[in-house]
Chain A
């Protein structure tokens, strides 16, 4: 019997797990994929929004503003980069000003500060190559950028260090009530009896809720496509949004925390919750959209494209509540934008809901809130590098040349709690393979290290979990003996 099962190891599930790890509880996180953050958490705009978008009175508005205020401390504790570089909503068409004023007012109602409308000259100082059509912008100087998968991984690591157990490749196939009032959660290999279940299954939260017999709702996957540019071609230092439309904040031009530039996302409802394919129409659309903000984008320097899916609920707001039908079951669904910005506040709220539902929360004496990130060789001073190499020579061997990632970092990423077991998992933890050559140089080397550290054959090393094995056999294995030789 455990105290809480969290379904889903996205940023929301990992945040909840980490918040619960403060208390003397048995917590298990079940994840259908091979790693944390494999769904919406790894492919989104990575912006911590100021909080002027959502209408006052919605959960989105409330949690965005509260969550945003919690980010500085959270990132400091988890030792992950977070920069408040500011955001702009740019007015281009005549009616856009009306919309900016509406957003300004909404922002003030939601409690966002500072927030103001700036004219073209100030806009030009922030973005010298902004379109000549831009005449004003709503400026939120405290909006932030973060690496969302780094956040997810840091939360998971910290939760695991504090006793939370993570089970991967564990899709929930059944949830039911046990005889003693506990909930029974089944994966293909295991069965858990738990007093509480938190449904943080992202795109699949509706299916989990239905399976548990809790309140029905629908999650619609809404696809957003992105293009990522080579690091060497960006000096943008602010998030640039167009004036929003009804369904989306629009296609933005934005720096990542690691110094790349990206454009996107568009917004397209799709049928399939696994449809993260990129389309040529989508790429055309985001290029067109981004060029309306910044016409001289370095389009020849795109290093990759990707797509993510937003988990959109029926009422277009977050669903964060205890089920009235199934005792002990808590839904955390529909966490789309500003979901990432709201994450710390969602964690806090879910703990509160569990307490209200009868979970006894006794603080642990030995909770460790602080987690240290893997040393990033590329960011260190030469003195720090020397010290690191002296301690562990593997930090002197560069594996990924585009991002200057060393063997030491990769080994550390594999050996940590909730460690990397695939090429993509290493990439998300260290940036090896995220650079301009997209793993051309480092992937064979990372495969070798994964194979050695996990004590598996290179043939078993995957890109991102079972079924995505990279190599198909040893040489000479496929050669069929031809008739003549066979006969002899």
Chain B
């Protein structure tokens, strides 16, 4: 079985960023395996701008962002194996992959970086009643058809869910001459970025109906319309508010799910909230030598953060490859308290490498105009910050000083509405 030094599974922005960084850190043999015919992952279909402001300090389209990374990776000598599907991964880092030219490939990796990204939630996950005709697409699939294949999925469109891909698609469909009749969101606030609500809906006079959902899909062969209704506080549709919207297409932008089938195969511990692996500050999972970054770990709002996270994973993997054996010392558990959905990384390995400050990523449970973020250790509150216009769609990041982490024990981060400290 051929031995490879570092194998990165997935050649999207996370995988490419990690591979580039690993090369720069001196890892000689870096192999990226991707199942598609071109690297770049989901960025290949992101022809809109808004990428790269943090990493490249200029605004790029998704495809430009990918292009730069692909070029850099190839210049640095990263090997990218395409049209190849990894079908097995074990905890001792054996990889089974398949493609048409080599058949089955078995590899033994010194370290593995998981960068498989995420998939879209489908209709089944939220049990929308009605028929199952043609014309129901997840927003990302519709985007693929339009931007990669050059086909339009529909002329009269309703979009369920206000995730970013759905918002981007609303604008794109409008520009293509399709009519986007409504974006329907079950929550009282949009789930995508504010800038996308403004630029993709408001600028195109596309109505956003908050506290609404689709309660029925009509049409046996092709979608002929949907029934929408307002929901009450328990998210139950109020049937007296039901109304019909004629359309030929329903796009779903109802969330993304980290794709961790391979991680589970390797017995990597999965966080029930993020849907991705539990990691330490080096993005190392519960399985030694297996690291994770990008949307496989938690769903990101902006690709730049993916790149930054992937660099951390690459440093972790490079460090792991240099050492004979990982030092696993005591760990600090980091948990999300009130007001937060999750915090990442979930643990700090005090035996591992520690920077002067450690960055934590988190998402709020609900929008807050003004909020107090508190970090508590076993000794009480050790840090606090005031935040403005917190949105669940936008990642919050904070830096915590090393001294605080070295106090050991347990760390809880929480978010409290208003400027005063919560009770």
Contact = CB atoms under 8 A, between A and B. Distances in A.
Given A303-B122, A440-B119, A468 B221 contact: yes
Interface residues of A, number: 61
Interface stretch (B93-101, B279-287, B321-329): B93-101
Interface string B55-73: 0000000000000000000
Given A394-B100, A397-B83, A473-B152, A304 B131 contact: no
Contacts of B266: none
A280 to B, nearest CB: 5
Contacts of B248: 472
Contact of A463 (B122, B133, B141, B154): B133
Interface string A278-292: 111011000000000
A232 B99 CA distance: 25
Nearest to A280: B129
Interface stretch (B24-32, B142-150, B198-206): B142-150
Interface string A307-344: 00000000000000000000000000000000000000
B350 interface: no
Interface in A259-297: 274, 276-280, 282-283
A192 interface: no
A389 to B, nearest CB: 4
A361 interface: no
A397 B153 CA distance: 26
Contacts of B123: 304, 438
Nearest to A404: B87
A432 B79 CA distance: 30
A396 B151 contact: no
Contacts of A475: 146, 150-152, 176
A5 B85 CA distance: 46
Contacts of A398: 35, 85, 87, 98
A396 B100 contact: yes
Given A278-B130, A303-B124, A467-B222, A389 B104 contact: yes
Interface stretch (A15-23, A54-62, A77-85, A476-484): A476-484
Contacts of A459: 151
B138 interface: yes
A436 B146 CA distance: 23
Interface string A436-459: 111111011000100000000011
Given A280-B215, A462-B134, A478-B155, A444 B222 contact: no
Contact of A479 (B148, B176, B249): B176
A470 B134 contact: yes
Contacts of B96: 382
Interface in B310-346: none
A474 B155 CA distance: 11
**Max chain A Cβ within 10 angstroms of own Cβ: one of B131, B132, B153:** B132
Contacts of B91: none
Q: What bracket does the count of chain B residues touching chain A fall in?
A: 35 or more
A474 B103 CA distance: 36
Interface string B261-281: 100100000000000000000
A385 B127 contact: no
Contact of B177 (A232, A280, A478): A478
B35 A469 contact: no
A472 B249 CA distance: 10
B102 to A, nearest CB: 8
Given A389-B103, A468-B222, A305 B127 contact: yes
B178 interface: yes
Nearest to B83: A397
A455 to B, nearest CB: 18
B125 interface: yes
Nearest to B215: A280
Given A278-B129, A437-B122, A474 B101 contact: no
Given A389-B103, A398-B98, A468-B134, A474 B152 contact: yes
B235 interface: no
A466 B220 CA distance: 11
B192 interface: no
A168 interface: no
B127 A397 contact: no
A70 interface: no
A396 B101 contact: yes
B138 A440 contact: yes
Contact of B133 (A386, A397, A402, A468): A468
B124 A283 contact: no
A43 to B, nearest CB: 10
A393 B101 contact: yes
A228 to B, nearest CB: 7
B120 interface: yes
A465 to B, nearest CB: 7
B163 interface: no
Contacts of B145: 444, 471
Interface string B230-243: 00000001000000
B141 A440 contact: yes
B140 interface: yes
Contacts of B119: 436-437, 440-441
Contacts of B99: 396-397
A227 interface: yes
A178 B222 CA distance: 39
A472 B152 contact: yes
Given A280-B127, A304-B123, A444 B141 contact: yes
A159 B351 CA distance: 68
Contact of A277 (B98, B131, B249, B261): B131
Interface string B143-172: 011101111111100000000000000000
B307 to A, nearest CB: 24
Residue among A283, A304, A440 with the highest chain B CB neighbour number at 10 A: A440
A359 interface: no
A283 B85 contact: no
B395 to A, nearest CB: 24
Interface in B104-139: 104, 119-120, 122-125, 127, 129-135, 138
A401 interface: yes
A277 B130 contact: yes
Nearest to B99: A396
Contacts of A386: 103-104
B133 A479 contact: no
Contacts of B125: 302-303
Nearest to A438: B122
Interface string A7-29: 00000000000000000000000
A274 B101 contact: no
A437 B35 contact: no
Contacts of A462: 134
B122 A440 contact: yes
A470 B104 contact: no
Given A278-B130, A440-B138, A478-B177, A228 B124 contact: yes
A306 interface: yes
Contacts of B151: 458-459, 471-475
B134 to A, nearest CB: 4
Contacts of B222: 467-469
Contacts of B101: 393, 396
Interface string B7-18: 000000000000
25 contacts: A232-B261, A276-B131, A302-B124, A302-B125, A303-B122, A304-B122, A305-B124, A305-B127, A382-B104, A396-B102, A398-B85, A398-B87, A436-B119, A440-B122, A443-B141, A444-B145, A463-B221, A471-B152, A471-B153, A472-B151, A472-B155, A475-B146, A476-B176, A477-B152, A478-B177
Interface of A: 227-228, 232, 274, 276-280, 282-283, 302-306, 382, 385-386, 389-390, 393-398, 401-402, 404, 407, 436-441, 443-444, 448, 458-459, 462-480
Given A277-B130, A458-B151, A459-B151, 6 more contacts: A398-B87, A437-B122, A471-B153, A473-B151, A475-B150, A477-B177
Q: Which 4 A-B pairs have the closest CB atoms?
A: A478-B177, A467-B221, A304-B124, A396-B100
